[in-house]
Amino acid sequence: MISASDTIVRDETTLVSALDDELIIIDIAKGKYLAIDRIGAAIWEAIAQPVAVETLVDGLADRYAAPREQIGSDVLAFLDNLASRGLVRIVAE
């Protein structure tokens, strides 16, 4: 489980491609793909470099003018989903 105090980064070897408004993230191990919407795509962009989850949530709360708590739990759920597929990992401080 990823927590708000972690610093995370996406897996660089992951294959990703745009399809219409969505980003298709390929989960090779499972032979499946994950289609993510614009907000998911913004998160995927933001974690190209290591970033603290709190900083990420702050940035998204500002950008989408949404309550921080709501954004926070959505982001953690999304990151956990990515992490369970090995698409994102926690980096040491």
Partner 1 sequence: MNYWYRAYGLTLQSEIACPELPEIDATTSPDVVIRLVQSIASMTGSNETHFSDIADVALFRIEKGREILVHPTVGAREEDVRQYLYGVGLTAILYQRDESPIHAGAIAWGGQAHLFCGESGAGKSTLMTQLRRRGVHVLCDDVGVIRQGSDAIVRFYHGVPRVKLWRDALTHFGIGTAALQRDLTRLDKFHVPLDVVAFDALPLGSVFNLQPRRDVDPPAIVALSSRETLEMLLRNTYRPRLLRQLGNPGHHMMRLVAAAGQASGFEFHRPWNLDRLDACGDTLVSHLATTIPTGAAA
Give the interface size with partner 1 as a residue count (CB under 8 A): 12
Give yes or no for residue 37 binding partner 1 (CB under 8 A). no
Hey, which residues between 13 and 32 contact partner 1 (CB under 8 A)? 15, 17-20, 22, 24, 26, 28, 31
Q: How far is the CB of 29 from partner 1 (least distance, A)?
A: 9
String of DSSP letters for 6-64: -EEEE-TT-EEEEETTEEEEEETTTTEEEEE-HHHHHHHHHTTS-EEHHHHHHHHHHHT
Footprint on this chain of partner 1 (rule: CB under 8 A): 15, 17-20, 22, 24, 26, 28, 31, 33, 35
